[in-house]
A and B are shown apart, each in its own frame.
Chain A
């Protein structure tokens, strides 16, 4: 398998605090890659750098979406990371458009496509057939993802009124509507009950192996990470402690030391 995302020598410092310290890794096309590590290890900072909400202090981030030409994420602004590179993300503390309906949330995920179809609103204002067709397709796509997420019944409810687990799923559905090449999930299992957690595992596998979406996730729930990941990165104090298959990481002495303390190693 080829690499979809290649990160080389990434560093991010906030003033004197080095949150991410010269790390390099790759995310393989069509795989599930997980990033683990204690709180404050710099995981979310890596996400924020990849999605360009932060400008890294140094390093390269290249997306290679074959057969198209490679994209240097460094040159893109956050919205272009989503629009051009189609790297889409969720947030650790869910960020939905609370007052808007579930369906509207998912339609925002197709914003650029619909904008083009409405010719920057001109065709939309005139309600041309071209726009109506595009809107119908977008609705169908949105409802398709909502069905997979089990949110069909809630389509017209305000997003903020959904229970917590459903909000997490909606956030993923919203990304999926944007046809992601790389889906970045920031702690998707946080706050889920065991049943929901199990569903999430199956969902992520379906997304990856049936829909062919490359997934890059941050997760604390080891049962999720160990079971579904193809590749695991371990971060500690901003440095890449270890990486490899779940098996390799589980038995890596540095990882054991970081997680269980000096004596256990």
Chain B
């Protein structure tokens, strides 16, 4: 087609940049420039404005230049590892510092900040739960939010309809999602990974449809309101400040629990088996690993964590509706897990904090954030397909000098 051009040019980066810029210019044109306006049922085109279009094409052009002319720095960016060389002692110190800081936070922050901090902590815990499923076991669960929803609705309905207290409902909020995870996972986890991804996506849609349509039980699109707030041995009932403080402390405690469970599971045979089947499930089977059961366990443990997070969410908001559990929310979670490094708890926590807190800090960012996350997800996977924290720490380390091991 373009054979009249010299072959040397066609093979060069210039030709590729020119070609791709042209493609971008063509495919972006209709969406940026053509806008339909409706005058009493009569459709016509709005006056054309070219500024955003030209800027977008220019952006693509510059991006292409970066990819083709600066491959080395980009690759270096992709391969260099922000693996902070911290010793175990320093790490312990940092952890203690962080926990103390988080404990002192309520004393120095106002209500809005404390509320945001609670949301962040719950999101981090939820993202950690998903890390077990996606990062450790390599199961792309696109319906993770459904278990969160089931947990939230379980507490909401038990407390409003039957007056069950938070602490009594909590185990059910874990067990019900786990049972659902079993029912969905049992038949599907035998199949290939991408089937699992799409079935879980469908499952989340089913759960949402049920929540919307089963009006008599779930309150339909209006959701459940006036969910009683929990109290901790009488603490948290006095006024709003005390209640928020207690919810914050509960969220913090729950995040710490999830952190320890996930860290501990990783160094146990169960966690090692998850990673093994993620790497090569045929080899894992040949060594006697019950791959199906291991996958199910990851899926169910993830669902339990999501369910309890959901109960905390319902208790904090005092209100739940199907709106909070869309695919978009799963996409957010996935972005946290992927950007955080698919298995590194601190990376995921950092990503979750940024993703939840940034839109609060800058409202103008909120409009573009999904566009931005979509783009970043693609770029991260292209340049670092194993996520950000690529330096994996072995779950056990052999120390030759003493012959002893540490976990």
Contacts and interface: CB of A to CB of B under 8 A. Distances in A.
The answer to whether any beta carbons of A and B sit under 8 Å apart in the complex is yes
Interface of A: 51, 53, 78-80, 82-83, 88-89, 91, 95-101, 103-104, 107-109, 111-112, 114-115, 117-118, 120-121, 124-125, 127, 135-136, 139, 143, 152, 155-156, 158, 174-175, 178
B405 A125 contact: no
Contact of A124 (B270, B276, B397): B270
A100 B280 CA distance: 11
Contacts of A108: 272-273, 276, 284, 287, 289
A6 B166 CA distance: 61
Given A111-B269, A114-B269, A156-B397, A175 B264 contact: no
A98 B279 CA distance: 7
Nearest to A113: B269
Interface in B277-329: 279-280, 282-291
B192 interface: no
Contacts of A80: 288
Interface in B84-136: none
B285 A82 contact: yes
Interface in B243-292: 261, 264-265, 268-270, 272-273, 275-276, 279-280, 282-291
Interface of B: 261, 264-265, 268-270, 272-273, 275-276, 279-280, 282-291, 386, 392, 394-398, 400, 403, 405
Contacts of B264: 124-125, 127
Contacts of B279: 96-100
A111 B287 CA distance: 8
B398 A96 contact: no
A178 B386 CA distance: 30
B288 A83 contact: yes
B289 A79 contact: yes
A125 B243 CA distance: 32
A41 B283 CA distance: 23
Contacts, number: 122
A174 B398 contact: no
Nearest to A94: B283
B272 A156 contact: no
A144 to B, nearest CB: 11
Of B261, B268, B397, chain A has the most CB atoms within 10 Å of the CB of B268
A152 B273 CA distance: 22
B288 A156 contact: no
Given A88-B286, A121-B265, 4 more contacts: A51-B286, A53-B285, A100-B275, A103-B397
A175 B269 contact: no
A158 B289 CA distance: 20
A117 B269 CA distance: 9
Contact of A96 (B280, B291, B403): B280
A235 to B, nearest CB: 21
B172 to A, nearest CB: 21
Contact of A155 (B273, B282, B398): B398
B394 A103 contact: yes
B396 A111 contact: no
Contacts of B282: 53, 91, 95
A175 to B, nearest CB: 7
B261 to A, nearest CB: 7
Nearest to A146: B398
Nearest to A153: B400
A171 to B, nearest CB: 8
A9 B291 CA distance: 30
B283 A97 contact: yes
A79 B394 contact: no
Given A101-B394, A143-B398, A121 B270 contact: yes
B73 to A, nearest CB: 25
Q: Closest 6 A-B residue pairs measured CB to CB? A: A82-B288, A101-B394, A95-B283, A83-B288, A114-B269, A97-B279
16 contacts: A88-B286, A95-B282, A95-B283, A96-B279, A97-B280, A100-B279, A104-B395, A108-B284, A111-B276, A117-B269, A118-B269, A125-B265, A125-B268, A139-B398, A152-B400, A156-B397
Contacts of A155: 398
A103 B396 contact: yes
Contacts of B287: 82, 88, 108-109, 111, 174-175, 178
Given A53-B282, A91-B283, A143-B398, A97 B269 contact: no
Contacts of B291: 79
Given A98-B279, A120-B270, A89 B286 contact: yes
B167 to A, nearest CB: 21
A95 B277 CA distance: 11
A136 B405 contact: yes
Contacts of A109: 287
Given A99-B392, A139-B396, A143-B398, A118 B273 contact: no
Contacts of B403: 143
A115 B269 contact: yes
Contacts of A135: 396, 405
A95 B287 CA distance: 11
B295 to A, nearest CB: 12
Nearest to A116: B269
A26 B282 CA distance: 26
A115 B289 CA distance: 10
Contact of B285 (A79, A107, A175): A79
